[in-house]
Structure 1
């Protein structure tokens, strides 16, 4: 994938977020407009329906979810990510046998395939950030590809959403942390 240009589109469709959210979740505060046409683009990869789970100051971690769509004819390998939050610890996670853990291999999205990042499954994890990340805010995401390219995704909305179906291990903490 030497000369692969990278495409990332963030599509925030308020109606989709509301339709896919349980009734007790907060898709957007009354004072925040949801822009259904937020987009950034390059060639090959889309990150759609992106959302960050709200984090209280007393919580240790939160996640980023959505659909990674590889529209290219080559596999795309994601080695890491950072956010506009700055000083935090960032990991790509998976759930194995019901227990959340850091992925041991880079995240690969096969050519022409989609990879879902969701609670209880694969997701981007933000840890070690002491401040709250309240619903209604937005963050920017930088996805780091194995080819050395960085993909910028702007204005991902923060929403209130329930936890997935994952365990944090016998001691109540993330495996290996």
Structure 2
């Protein structure tokens, strides 16, 4: 009995010390990311928006985002309320439908970088780590620049941005 308990304790100790998350197996759900872009930050401004398209192979949820360029990254939505554009954090993340493209765009769902450490200048890049409920995390390199309004017209036709 003591040998069984000792063996179990040793296995639990090893499991607790194993680094990181397990690699997804073959056929694990994935999320494709395209057109990642973050707006530049004028001198003194420490917040900015980032946009991209996400396509999940299976139903999933973007639950959080990390970036070395900012203290905090939040997933936000913008919508009209009482004739005013309002923005709020999606605390439960952003649902992703299987096989459908979710567009993060000005005037709609987007990422907010808060506490930007160094000014983001057009032409620079920003690393973003997207963390999903099911799929493996995806690291993205976003270009810093101004989004083309026509690029997002179809995604957020009533945004006014």
- Which TM-score tier does this pair reach, normalised by the shorter chain? 0.5 to 0.7
Aligned residue in 1 for 2:45: 59
How many pairs are equivalent? 124
Alignment pair present for 1:151 and 2:135: no
Aligned residue in 1 for 2:124: 137
Gaps of 5+ in 2: 1-23, 150-158
SS in structure 1 opposite 2:123?
coil
Within 5 Å, which residues of 2 pair with 1:43-54?
44-54=30-40
The structure that is helix-richer by fraction is: 2
Please, which of 68, 80, 83 is the counterpart of residue 84 of structure 1? 68
Is the 1:92–1:124 contact (alpha carbons within 8 Å) kept by the matching residues of 2?
yes
Is the 1:56–1:131 contact (alpha carbons within 8 Å) kept by the matching residues of 2?
no
Gaps of 5+ in 1: 7-43, 167-177
Alignment pair present for 1:106 and 2:93: yes
CA distance in structure 1 between the partners assigned to 2:88 and 2:148 by the alignment: 19
Please, which of 44, 54, 57 is the counterpart of residue 68 of structure 1? 54
Q: Rg bigger for which structure?
A: 2
Give the TM-score of the pair, scaled to structure 2: 0.67
The structure that is strand-richer by fraction is: 2
Instruction: Sort the Cα spacing of 1:156 and 1:107 in 2 relative to 1 into closer, same or farther, 3 A.
Output: same
Deviations 1:68-96 (A, max 9, x none): 112x2x211111001231x5111000013
Kindly report structure 1 stretches of 4+ aligned residues shifted beyond 6 Å.
Answer: none
